[in-house]
């Protein structure tokens, strides 16, 4: 807890920065020094959260019928403001997360964030993603429309790109026409505060109502459950731990409120025998780089490697172990990340895993653990699949060595849902038969299937699926990355049956509001007006 005598940062409620009603506080910690940072932040009580809900509800009623142009203008102004304040944002995020300034924060994540906002703006302006559908003979029409206020819970590992006040869920919810209540993450509240400051200024500049963007930093667990299940909330987006997310989902499900989760994923990599023979050293280098990048703190970090027993496999494991041992140990995001990583080591070892290298805390600066590689047999994995799929969120991975092709498939059947699954195969076709056995099973376990590449990069393009079966996410039909698909999470399908022309949304009128809007009219996807019949 922070010192209550210190100045406490304000919350953003109903269009104004105001002193919190909360009496409990917290401080972020610099992961490299393990020292608290100077700013103190409030834990919002339920009365304050309720004020935010009521304000968001009023804002939702005001903007419900606004055109996509209005939301696009806000997103573009916000993106410009983020770029203009880049230096301060990067410095704050570096202090709060220990993520490197370059290339991570300055060259990759911050540009991605403003680019996401601009992509969302383009989708909002175009409007085709709302899927306007018209059956002219019975005069029945439908389209996706805003669901209402959206709560966004940001994670610890992406202070910009997944931030609750600027990241992908935020951009998608706004582009879909909804106000956002941002619930900051305790690891980087200062970064979130700066982003919310710029969001509010952009909202003022573009004529958004009070309560269109709001920020609270932290709640207790019970109030978080009340928040996602409140009648006035349309939907929630959550990225974080499996345990906390599951509790929020249970509360939201109880009252039928949509909540889109990103929770836990170990992202299996299959390296088939021909690929090991053909280019094992190159794959070892790719894997070590991917697993240790960002100290392994990516949701797509390769946490499970499946190989077939043999001399070449043993040589490959030795090479990877040497790379892990020689690589510098990075700083983790905070004390909870270190403790959970250490707990993961203990769980795997207690269920039969043996260490190849690492396995202890320390080795670097601040909160850290040694670069760690463990191994089990295929039969051990199949016998204890739940425990041996414990996510080690950090610079660690588990190797599963199978004895046969059928065991490859057996391990795949035992997998939980994941964001990604990758297969490396020989270029000469010698692995194709085994690939054909594994892939039909793996394809149903992962949101994104990759060939001959590591999964850590997530391109922000329309076809991207950053989702997958539980526990990777709460629903396999939706993605958190990829516009316009990500916008659809924060909408409801609204149908108009026999509604008079002057009462229809403009996108469902006989005359199209723009020449670029794609609509499904009498079974044909066209641009333009509803054809007249003679």
Element spanning 322, H or E: helix 311-326
- HSE on the CB side for 385, CA within 13 Å? 9
* Separation between Cα atoms, residue 261 and residue 81, nearest integer Å: 29
Q: Look up residue 439 and give its DSSP letter.
A: H
* Separation between Cα atoms, residue 187 and residue 272, nearest integer Å: 39
3-state secondary structure 239-295: ECCHHHHHHHHHHHHHCCCCEEEECCCCCEEEECHHHHHHHHHHHHHHHHHHHHHHH
Task: Provide φ and ψ at 260, rounded to 5°.
Answer: -105, 120
CB-based burial label for 106 (10 Å; 0-12, 13-18, 19+): middle
Give the active site residue among 96, 262, 391, 407. Answer: 262
Nearest in space to 73 (alpha carbons), one of 190, 208, 197: 208
CB distance 48 to 11 below 8 Å: yes
The verdict on whether 54 is a catalytic residue reads no
* Separation between Cα atoms, residue 511 and residue 529, nearest integer Å: 5
Sign of the Cα pseudo-torsion (29, 343, 295, 158, in order): negative
Q: Look up residue 211 and give its DSSP letter.
A: T
Give the 3-state secondary structure of residue 44: coil
The verdict on whether 76 is a catalytic residue reads no
Nearest in space to 448 (alpha carbons), one of 431, 464, 429: 464
* Separation between Cα atoms, residue 249 and residue 291, nearest integer Å: 30
* Separation between Cα atoms, residue 512 and residue 309, nearest integer Å: 62
Give the active site residue among 291, 299, 368, 369. Answer: 299
Residue listed under structure tokens 């022309």 = 501
* Cis peptide upstream of residue 484 (ω within 30 degrees of 0): yes
Q: Look up residue 384 and give its DSSP letter.
A: S
* Cis peptide upstream of residue 471 (ω within 30 degrees of 0): yes
Question: Any idea which residues carry the catalytic annotation?
Answer: 262, 299
């Amino acid at each position: 807890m922070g010192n209550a005598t210190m100045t406490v940062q304000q919350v953003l409620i109903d269009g104004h920065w105001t002193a919190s009603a909360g009496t409990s506080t917290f401080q972020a910690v610099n992961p490299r020094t393990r020292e608290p940072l100077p700013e103190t932040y409030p834990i919002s009580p339920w009365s304050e959260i309720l004020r935010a809900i009521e304000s968001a509800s009023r804002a939702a009623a005001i903007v419900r019928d606004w055109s996509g142009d209005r939301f696009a203008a806000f997103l573009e102004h916000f993106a410009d403001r983020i770029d203009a304040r880049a230096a301060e944002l990067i410095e704050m995020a570096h202090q709060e997360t220990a993520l490197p300034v370059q290339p991570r924060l300055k060259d990759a994540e911050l540009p991605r964030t403003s680019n996401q906002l601009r992509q969302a703006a383009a989708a909002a302006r175009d409007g085709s993603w709302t899927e306007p559908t018209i059956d002219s003979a019975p005069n029945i029409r439908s389209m996706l429309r805003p669901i209402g206020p959206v709560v966004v819970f940001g994670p610890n590992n992406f202070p910009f790109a997944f931030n609750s006040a600027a990241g992908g869920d935020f951009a998608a919810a706004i582009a879909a026409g909804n106000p956002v209540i941002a619930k900051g993450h305790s690891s980087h509240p200062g970064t979130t505060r700066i982003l919310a400051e710029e969001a509010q200024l952009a909202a003022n500049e573009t004529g958004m109502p009070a309560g269109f963007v709001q920020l609270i930093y932290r709640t207790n667990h019970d109030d978080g459950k009340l928040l996602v299940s409140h009648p006035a909330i349309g939907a929630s987006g959550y990225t974080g731990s499996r345990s906390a997310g599951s509790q929020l989902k249970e509360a939201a499900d109880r009252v039928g409120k949509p909540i889109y989760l990103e929770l836990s994923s170990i992202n299996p990599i299959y390296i088939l025998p021909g690929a090991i023979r053909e280019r094992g050293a190159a794959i070892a280098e790719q894997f070590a780089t991917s697993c240790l990048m960002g100290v392994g703190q990516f949701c797509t970090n390769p946490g499970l490697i499946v190989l077939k027993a043999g001399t070449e496999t043993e040589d490959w494991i030795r090479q990877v172990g040497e790379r892990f041992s020689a690589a510098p140990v990075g700083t983790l995001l905070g004390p909870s990340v270190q403790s959970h990583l250490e707990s993961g080591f203990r769980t795997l070892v207690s269920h039969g895993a043996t260490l190849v290298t690492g396995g202890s805390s320390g080795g670097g600066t601040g909160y850290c653990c040694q670069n760690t590689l463990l191994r089990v047999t295929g039969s051990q994995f199949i016998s204890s699949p739940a425990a041996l799929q414990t996510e080690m969120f950090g610079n660690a991975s588990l190797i599963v060595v199978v004895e046969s092709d059928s065991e490859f498939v057996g391990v795949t059947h035992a997998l939980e849902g994941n964001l990604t699954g990758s297969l490396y195969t020989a270029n000469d076709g010698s692995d194709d038969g085994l690939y054909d056995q594994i892939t039909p099973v793996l394809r149903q376990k992962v949101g994104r299937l990759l060939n001959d590449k590591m999964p850590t990069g997530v391109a922000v393009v329309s076809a991207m699926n950053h989702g997958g079966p539980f526990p990777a996410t709460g629903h396999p039909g939706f993605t958190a990355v990829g516009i316009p698909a990500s916008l659809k999470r924060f909408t409801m399908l609204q149908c108009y049956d026999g509604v008079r022309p002057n009462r229809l949304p403009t996108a469902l009128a006989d005359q199209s509001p723009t020449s670029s809007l794609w609509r499904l009219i009498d079974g044909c996807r066209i641009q333009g007006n509803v054809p007249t019949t003679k």
